[in-house]
Structure 1
Amino acid sequence: MLKVVMCLLILANLSSCSFTARNFNSPPESSALIEKAHLLEHIAVLASDEMQGRATGTQGALQSADYIHSALVAMEVAPLAQGQPYFQHFTYTISGAKKQGINVVAWIKGEGFKNTSEGMVSPTIVLSAHYDHIGSNSRGVFNGADDNASGVAALIEIARLFQHSKPFHNIVLLFTDGEEDNLQGAKAFIVDNPKIIANTVLNVNLDMIAGISSTRALRYLNHDLHHLLTPQNMTDFKALHTKSWVPVKKGFRNKRYGLHLTKRQWRLASDHGAFYKAGIPFLYFGVGTHNHYHQSSDTIENINNVFFWRATNSIYLHLRYLDQHIRSK
């Protein structure tokens, strides 16, 4: 854990740098709810060399799943079913090789609807973030700090706030494995949980939200969100983009750093794609690709940790609004 401690010291020094964006007035930092120290600790652990790049089926991935599980237990967030494990095991074959993945799944009971003794049948929002990455090779460890230790760290801390101040809807916390292998963990969750999926009104997916030094805006993509909000609520939701701790902008750039993604490809670019194919509305937050994407340089030293903290607060602000205002089934 010495390397993790050193990483935390680096992040603490970096946090003294201020995030600035032209023509943008964010709320005062004192109004932020996400605990910065906890957030940075999570990303430092998950993106450490000890996790070996978190490739599916490796010891590093198992350690990462255990870390997420321990964080949920410490916050007293419940598993999907009382007395059941937090882990969802699944297998898949890719490029002729059989792999075993592990999703970490929990839920927070909403206070706006009744849940039967048979389980969750009330309207549900699934919050997702993949914890797997691409592992290591002779060139070194691919730590995956932004991709996607950032989304996982954020989701853990968002869960802490929802656990403390209960949501209106049921909230499923889905930490997926196998995302880098064509969204295998999200697909397995959808297949294995038909009752939950039948009552899922929205998926909100977090993937790469920390950015790099030049990152200035949090971006999002949504599908069918307008079906869940009244016209006025949709207007109010968009108004939140300018009241957040970072600028929030719709859409991702199609061509950057050697990648060319159409709007449809962005719809399928992360775990929200599995929900999209299942006919479930989604909201996807990220910063898009950058020059550390899938490189060994995607380390905590290269993330924009002040932006990361502010972006996480901004996402939570949007989630609270949606939980309170979306029209459920």
Structure 2
Amino acid sequence: MKRAYLLYILALSFSFISCKTQNNTTVKTEVKPTINYSFNADNLLENIKELSSDKYEGRRTGTEGAKKAKNYIVNQFKTLEVKPIKGSYIQPFAFGNYQAENVLGLIKGTENNRKHIVLSAHYDHEGVKNGQIYNGADDDASGVSALFAFAEYFAKNPPKHNVILAAFDGEELGLKGAYHFVNDNVIQQRNIVLNLNMDMISRSEKKELFAVGTRYYPQLKPTIENFKDIGSVDLVIGHEGLTKGDDWTYSSDHAAFHKANIPFIYFGVADHEDYHKPTDDFINIDQQFYKDAVQTIITVFNQFDSLDL
């Protein structure tokens, strides 16, 4: 008995080092590698916190809050040395009674000087309703803040293709900013080879980040299908209309590119309890998931950037 007890103690001690023992069955513990983010994770969180704060009053198109958000994005682009397109970061447009403004920045590629990849997110949200501010932390301050993370990354790792960082206005009112961009010829459609759209990427109960678009552009599927997951994020192909009522093809700004036959991948999470509610606040995002999601999208971008699109 004493010998058996001693062996038990030794086995138990060893389990704390390399494994855990349950019911006399040895199971190896999974040790996740430390993620070396290719952007400043603190800045990422600070930017989403800022853009989803009350001072921007929900960023509804045409309001003072939206103008403040536009100015914040422009200042970030300047600080991160993102270049304007044709001398200006602002692409104004109007629809109905609304005066709107896309914010566009350019990262010049090292090899493909005429081909452009558009990284997009919308900065507008629902504004103020019944005295409550709809701050839209996940929808879509998360995507806009990811644009800044991309800019940080490109400062040290310039892309091969030209990259447009597009913060679109008017998404909540019918994807107006994206359609204006695609049809305005600020960049000719034939020179846009891919759109990666980010809309709601900062929280998921199931830790799933969906990639939509490979059904229509099968040349993009191997990159997504063979992707090795990063951190807490499970990158999943889905919501492509293969099941009735489950189609995100036209759910966000990527629809404007798709209708122009420009390949796209849309990154987003499933609707959650705070979707389009005044509780979509910074405090409710999943910070670890969000950082891992942004790193995931940057890594996917790199794989696409290496291709002859």
Q: Quote the offset at 1:128 in angstroms.
A: 0.4
1:297 aligns with 2:283: no
Partners of 2:223 and 2:304 within 8 A in 1: no
Q: Deviations over 1:52-86 (max 9, x none)?
A: 000000011000011111011001110112xx110
Letter in 2 for 1:294: H
Higher-Rg member (1/2): 2
Instruction: Tell me the equivalent position of 2:211.
Output: 220
What letter matches 2:58 in structure 1?
Answer: G
Hey, what's the Cα distance between the residues in 2 that align with 1:108 and 1:92? 29
1:123 to 107, 115, 120: 115
Aligned to 2:91: 88
Instruction: Provide the rounded CA distance (Å) in 2 between the counterparts of 1:198 and 1:320.
Output: 21
- Higher normalized contact order (CA 8 Å, seq sep 6+, divided by chain length): 1
Against the structure 1 CA distance between its residues 297 and 261, is the aligned structure 2 distance closer, same or farther, given a 3 Å change threshold?
Answer: farther
Structure 1 residue 308 and structure 2 residue 274: aligned?
no
Cα displacement (A) at 1:159: 1.9
Residue by residue over 1:211-263, the C-alpha shift from the partner in whole angstroms, topping out at 9 and shown as x without a partner, is: 15x24111110144323x5xxxx535422243565111111398xxxxx9432
Q: Letter of the aligned partner of 2:101 in structure 1?
A: I
What is the distance in 2 between the residues matched to 1:283 and 1:26?
Answer: 31
Identity over the aligned pairs, expressed in percent? 37
- Matched residue, 1:52: 57
Q: Distance in 1 between matches of 2:69 and 2:283?
A: 20
Q: Are positions 1:317 and 2:308 aligned together?
A: no
* One-letter code aligned to 1:66: N
The within-5 A match list for 1:146-161 is 146-161=138-153
Deviations 1:104-154 (A, max 9, x none): 0011111112x4xxxxxx111111000000001224100000000001101
1:240/1:61 CA distance change after superposition, 3 Å:
same
Give the distance between the partners of 1:262 and 1:239, measured in 2 at CA: 23
Q: TM-score, normalised by structure 2?
A: 0.85
- The number of residue pairs the alignment matches comes to 279
Report SS of the residue matched to 1:29: coil
Asked if 1:246 is matched to 2:233, the reply is yes
Task: Determine helix, strand or coil for the equivalent of 1:291.
Answer: coil
Q: Which runs of 5+ in 1 are unaligned?
A: 1-23, 116-121, 255-259
Gapped regions of structure 2 (runs ≥ 5): 1-28
Question: Which residue in 1 is equivalent to 2:22?
Answer: none
What is the TM-score of this pair, normalised by structure 1?
Answer: 0.80
Is 1:110 aligned to 2:92, yes or no? no
